[in-house]
Amino acid sequence: MAQITKNIDKLNNVQIFGGQIVGRTPASRASSGTSNNGFTAEDLRVFKYIAANPSGSRFVEVTDFTTQWDTTGAAGDRLYFGAPYKTWAIKTLCTVAKTSEKYIAKYYSINADDLIPVSWMSMNDECLEQNSKNLWQITNDQYFTINKNINSDWLGTDNILDKIPNTGDSRYWNVLEVPVGGIATPAKIRDVVYRSNGVAKLECNSQNVYFGNARLKKSDKIPAIAFWNGGVPETASINITSTLKQTVHKLRNAADDAIHSPYALPFGIDTSTPMEIALTFAASQAINTGDIEIDLKGVSYLGGAIGTGETSDRIVTTNINIPDTNIKLVQLIADYDISNYKECDTIFVQLKRTDSNGGSFYPINAHFCCTLFKEGKIECS
C-alpha cells in the first residue's frame, strides 16, 4: 500500500489545513511503518474490476507498481484507487499509451447509496498543464483530479458486492470505468502518487499548485448583453432602493428574448469542477400566473469559421416563482459542466425566457465563478 513521502514528483509540498497527504505505492504491499501524518505506510489500495468474471470474484488487487501493469479495456471494467481519507488527485506514469476513449469517473455517493459519475480532468505533471489529450493517451506522468463539490456527498465504504472491494476498512474510492464500446488499446502504467487537500510549489519556478479543497475560486461579473427576437426592445426604470434607479431591458414572455455573455475560460481553470453561473435580475409576477422559465444554454467556440467550432449544447431549465407583484432583485444560480473544455476556450452563454406567463423580467448582469488549480499560466524554466 502507499508509503507517505515527500518530493515524489515535480512538486515541493506546503502543509495546510493540517492535512496535506502525499504518497506513492511501494513495490509491494510488504512495507510497514507509519508516516508523519499518522497513517500507516499501507494507505493506498488499487484494484482492477473485471466485469466478465463471476459475481463476487471481480476484484483483482494490483500489488506491484515498480513495473508497468495493464489497465482494463472491456466495457464495464473499472480501476479503483482507495485510501482511508479523500484523495483528490491521482498521478501515474503512463508507459504505453491508450486509444482516445474516455473513462467515466465515479465515486460512492451518500445520497444515492451507489457509485455515480463525477466530472474530472487530466493534467500533465510537467508544469501542471491541462492534458491536451485524454488521460493516458500520451506517455508521461499524468494526474487526474475530480470535482471538489462532491466533498459532503463522498462516502467511505468497504465490501459492497461487485461495487466496492473488501479491504477490511472504510475507504474513499476514485473509480475509473471503461465506457460502452470498450477501449481498443488499454494503457500500461506504473507507480501511483496521490494527493489530498493542500498546496504545492513547482520545483521549476516555485509557483503554487492547489489540490482538493485548497483549490481557488475566481469570480467575474459580466454585464448582460440583451438580444430581442423581434420588435422594438422594451426598457424600464426600476427602483433598486428608494434613492437609486436603474434603466434595464425587459425580457418579454413568449418572445424568445434572451441575454448573451461570452466568457473565455481563465488560465489555471480546474474543469473537473462545474462553473457556477449566476444571473442577477429584477422581476415581478402576478399571483397564480405560473413560473418564469429560463433556459441556460452554453456553446463553446473552439476556433475556425464562426458557426463551425461548436461543441454540443448544454441546457439547464429553471423555473422561477415570484410570489407577488412587487419588483425585487433575485439571483438565478446554475452549475455548468465544463469537463470537456480547457483553459482559454470561449463559451457563449445564453439565458432565454421560454414561458408564456405574465410578469416582468429584467436582467442586470451575469456572474461566472470558476475553480482554479493554479494561479494563471505557469512558465517552466
- Do 199 and 331 lie in one domain? The reply is no
Answer for the pair 224, 294: CB distance below 8 angstroms, yes or no: no
Query: Between residues 179 and 33, which one has the greater pLDDT?
Result: 179
What lies within 8 Å, CB to CB, of 65 at 6+ separation is: 24, 25, 26, 27, 46, 190, 191, 192
What integer pLDDT is reported at residue 171 of this predicted model? Answer: 93
Q: With a cut of 90, say whether residue 51 has pLDDT above it.
A: yes
What integer pLDDT is reported at residue 344 of this predicted model? Answer: 80
| 151 occurs within a structural domain | yes
| 381 occurs within a structural domain | no
- Do 186 and 267 lie in one domain? The reply is no
Q: With a cut of 60, say whether residue 32 has pLDDT above it.
A: no
Task: For the chain, give the percent of residues with pLDDT over 70.
Answer: 65
State the Cα–Cα distance between residues 250 and 308, nearest whole angstrom: 31
What lies within 8 Å, CB to CB, of 240 at 6+ separation is: 246, 329
Give the residues across from 83 on adjacent strands.
172
- Do 162 and 300 lie in one domain? The reply is no
> How many structural domains compose the chain?
2
- Weakest-pLDDT range from 148-157, 188-197, 305-314: 305-314
What integer pLDDT is reported at residue 111 of this predicted model? Answer: 94
| 379 occurs within a structural domain | no
Q: In what order do the strands lie in the sheet with 314-320?
A: 225-227, 258-264, 346-353, 292-301, 314-320
What integer pLDDT is reported at residue 180 of this predicted model? Answer: 95
Burial 70-82 (b: 16+ CB within 10 A, else e): ebbbeeebbbbbb
- Do 205 and 240 lie in one domain? The reply is no
Q: How many residues does the chain have?
A: 381
Convert the pLDDT of each residue in 166-198 to its tens digit: 999 999 999 999 999 999 999 999 888 888 888
Half-sphere exposure of residue 6, counting CA atoms within 13 Å on the CB side? 13
At residue 153, the 3 state secondary structure works out as helix
Give the dihedral sign, CA 280/285/287/290. Answer: negative
- Do 147 and 166 lie in one domain? The reply is yes
| 380 occurs within a structural domain | no
- Do 15 and 135 lie in one domain? The reply is yes
- Do 160 and 253 lie in one domain? The reply is no
Q: With a cut of 50, say whether residue 6 has pLDDT above it.
A: no
Query: What single string gives the DSSP state of each residue in 3-43?
Result: EE-SS-SSEEEE--TT---EEE--SSTT---B-TTS-BS--
What integer pLDDT is reported at residue 157 of this predicted model? Answer: 94
- Do 223 and 365 lie in one domain? The reply is yes
Instruction: Tell which residue, 215, 207, 255, has the closest CA to residue 231.
Output: 255
User: Highest-confidence range of 46-55, 288-297, 301-310, 332-341, by mean pLDDT?
Assistant: 46-55
CATH of the domain at 234: 2.60.120.260
Query: Between residues 371 and 296, which one has the greater pLDDT?
Result: 371
Query: Between residues 66 and 252, which one has the greater pLDDT?
Result: 66
Answer for the pair 98, 185: CB distance below 8 angstroms, yes or no: yes
State the Cα–Cα distance between residues 52 and 58, nearest whole angstrom: 8
Domain end call among 198, 214, 230: 214
State the Cα–Cα distance between residues 321 and 288, nearest whole angstrom: 9
- Do 142 and 264 lie in one domain? The reply is no
Rounded to an integer, the average pLDDT of 15-34 is: 38
| 42 occurs within a structural domain | yes
Query: Between residues 4 and 257, which one has the greater pLDDT?
Result: 257
| 208 occurs within a structural domain | yes
Q: Name the average pLDDT for the chain.
A: 75
What lies within 8 Å, CB to CB, of 183 at 6+ separation is: 71, 72, 73, 98, 99, 101
What integer pLDDT is reported at residue 364 of this predicted model? Answer: 76
Answer for the pair 247, 235: CB distance below 8 angstroms, yes or no: yes
- Weakest-pLDDT range from 102-116, 270-284, 285-299, 346-360: 285-299
DSSP state of 168: S
Rounded to an integer, the average pLDDT of 11-32 is: 40
Confidence of residue 15 (pLDDT cuts 50, 70, 90): very low
Give the dihedral sign, CA 118/84/158/74. Answer: positive
Convert the pLDDT of each residue in 108-141 to its tens digit: 999 999 999 999 999 887 767 787 678 999 898 8
| 232 occurs within a structural domain | yes
- Weakest-pLDDT range from 71-75, 152-156, 232-236, 275-279: 232-236
Residue 279, Cα to own-chain centre: how many angstroms? 21
Q: What are the DSSP E strand ranges found in 165-313?
A: 172-177, 188-195, 198-202, 208-211, 216-223, 225-227, 235-239, 245-249, 258-264, 275-284, 292-301
Rg of the chain in Å (alpha carbons): 24
| 378 occurs within a structural domain | no
What integer pLDDT is reported at residue 329 of this predicted model? Answer: 66
- Do 140 and 206 lie in one domain? The reply is yes
Within a 10 A sphere around the Cβ of 252, how many other Cβ atoms?
A: 17
What lies within 8 Å, CB to CB, of 30 at 6+ separation is: none
Give the residues across from 81 on adjacent strands.
46, 174
- Do 209 and 221 lie in one domain? The reply is no
State the Cα–Cα distance between residues 50 and 53, nearest whole angstrom: 6
- Do 220 and 183 lie in one domain? The reply is no
pTM score, two decimals?
0.79
Domain end call among 214, 230, 250: 214
Rounded to an integer, the average pLDDT of 50-72 is: 91
- Weakest-pLDDT range from 221-225, 228-232, 237-241: 228-232
Convert the pLDDT of each residue in 330-369 to its tens digit: 677 778 888 888 888 877 777 776 666 666 677 777 788 8
Domain end call among 187, 214, 241: 214
What integer pLDDT is reported at residue 31 of this predicted model? Answer: 31
**Which domain covers residue 331, as residue numbers?**
216-372
